[in-house]
Structure 1
Amino acid sequence: MMFTAGLTAREIADRCKQNIATVHLHLRNREKYDPDFFAKHVAALEARGPQRITTKWRRRVKEAQDFYKAHGCLPGRAGDPADYSLAEWIAEQRRLLERNELPRAKIVLLESLPDWSINAQTQEREAQWRNKLALLVDFVVSEQRMPRYRTYATEEEHVLGVWLHNQHQRRTENRLELWKLEALNKAISGWRRCT
């Protein structure tokens, strides 16, 4: 019944905790009684589509879960080849999610991995942005003025002035993310008036 529902022999073996050779033997015997047995399987397998949950895919999720249990984090690209391979697999799942190409069933199974859907590079860029905002607030508090990017007194002021100018440009071009706009408005109420 599982085979005609589209499950592969490997998936059946894994689910039933049987040797794959035993499953193949059973399937060959079953074909003797139902000549359309393999045709039904092929049709059901094709209906599952290219993004179906395969045994190999489930195994990768299990590897990621085991890695997280052992290390308290997801694998990074630095390290041994197995860790790198697993990190790349997780990154591919993340890319599929961002393109809305990851089936809901896979998303549900991946939710057992904390922060799997968060892009580490995006997190790092956002942390750097928050750090610049904190430096800007410190500058405004200590100097009682906004940093300048043209007639600056120090290199620190120049860096902050350029950063603030870029935020202005992104805002006027509607490219500044809403959370960043809100954070700037909350941190420094008059930042829009200064260029």
Structure 2
Amino acid sequence: MDRLLRRAPDAEWVLMYRLGLSRKRIAALVCAEPNTVGYHLAIARRQDPGLEAEHQAADPAPHPSPKDLARMEVIIAWVSAEGRLPQDRACDRGERSMARWLSGRRREAAAGTLDAAYRNGLAQVPGWQENRRKSEDEARWHRRLDQLVAYREEGHDWPRHHDYDSEREHTLGVWIHTQRYKHRRGELDSVKFRLLDDAVPGWQTGRTRGRPRRPFLRSGGAKTGLVDTL
């Protein structure tokens, strides 16, 4: 009641509204009735025609509702059970929805508007703020390494990035050529360097000019011995 008796509009409430807080949110923060806050804000809008535009432009991240927080807990439990973050291209609709939710929180964190409740809760999810493209690039790198290991185990020589026999060889040839180039420039991550050394020894040298391709067995058992040079 004291607020109603004081001259309206209340300067504190007007400032909060100007910063983007809703009437209900302001009422909850100052322990007042929403109608009381609305009364003050109505007068403030009449006195300052630009107030509403400033309120709309501020558009702060909404305070999480109990439903929002419950959604976060479901996602945290899912990540804990699956051992990975949800993917936005997954076949499962629920997983795609969780990935989009996390993407929204990631944008808020980058903009500095992530609510403390989300920040504290998501602290239980390692790596949730990592850039999605960076994560996908890392996954692709390890996938290419596995593919190169399989390619070599089949008896093939090192894949070429030109004069290749198949798209598979071309893809792997470009990839390993890039790793060699980065290594020569000192740009290859030390962990990746060790992984390459352990998984595919000799990757730095590759083919020797004029050396014939190693024979390998096709699925029918016939041996081939094509000669190829870089």
TM-score (norm 1): 0.53
Percent of aligned pairs with the same amino acid: 20
Distance 1:158 1:4 in 2: 64
Distance 1:67 1:87 in 2: 12
> In structure 1, what is the equivalent of residue 24 of structure 2?
10
Q: Deviations over 1:81-101 (max 9, x none)?
A: xx766643432443465xx5x
1:62 to 48, 64, 69: 69
Q: Deviations over 1:24-81 (max 9, x none)?
A: x22255579xx659869x86x94896362333xx23852541332554466665426x
Is 1:130 aligned with 2:138? no
Quick check: 1:3–1:12 contact (8 Å CA) kept in 2?
yes
Distance 1:147 1:134 in 2: 14
Task: Give the unaligned 5+ runs of structure 1.
Answer: none
SS of residue in 2 equivalent to 1:4: helix
> In the TM superposition, what are the counterparts of 1:102-141 in structure 2 within 5 Å?
102-103=111-112, 105-106=113-114, 108-111=116-119, 112-113=121-122, 114=125, 115-119=127-131, 122-136=134-148
> In structure 2, what is the equivalent of residue 88 of structure 1?
100
Distance 1:168 1:116 in 2: 31
Distance 1:95 1:31 in 2: 31
Q: How many corresponding residue pairs?
A: 175
Aligned AA for 2:36? H
Q: Deviations over 1:107-128 (max 9, x none)?
A: 7544322243235564344223
Distance 1:146 1:36 in 2: 77
> In structure 2, what is the equivalent of residue 147 of structure 1?
158
Is 1:185 aligned with 2:193? yes
Distance 1:85 1:142 in 2: 40
Distance 1:84 1:148 in 2: 36
Task: Give the unaligned 5+ runs of structure 2.
Answer: 1-9, 208-230
Change (3 A) 1:152 1:89: closer
SS of residue in 2 equivalent to 1:183: helix
> In structure 2, what is the equivalent of residue 50 of structure 1?
58
Aligned AA for 1:126? E
Quick check: 1:184–1:191 contact (8 Å CA) kept in 2?
no
Q: CA deviation at 1:129?
A: 1.4
Distance 2:31 2:57 in 1: 25
CA RMSD of aligned residues (A): 5.1
> In the TM superposition, what are the counterparts of 1:74-85 in structure 2 within 5 Å?
77=88, 78-79=92-93
Distance 2:96 2:29 in 1: 28
Quick check: 1:147–1:158 contact (8 Å CA) kept in 2?
no
| Bigger Rg, structure 1 or 2 | 2
Quick check: 2:61–2:108 contact (8 Å CA) kept in 1?
no
Quick check: 2:158–2:173 contact (8 Å CA) kept in 1?
yes
Q: CA deviation at 1:155?
A: 8.7
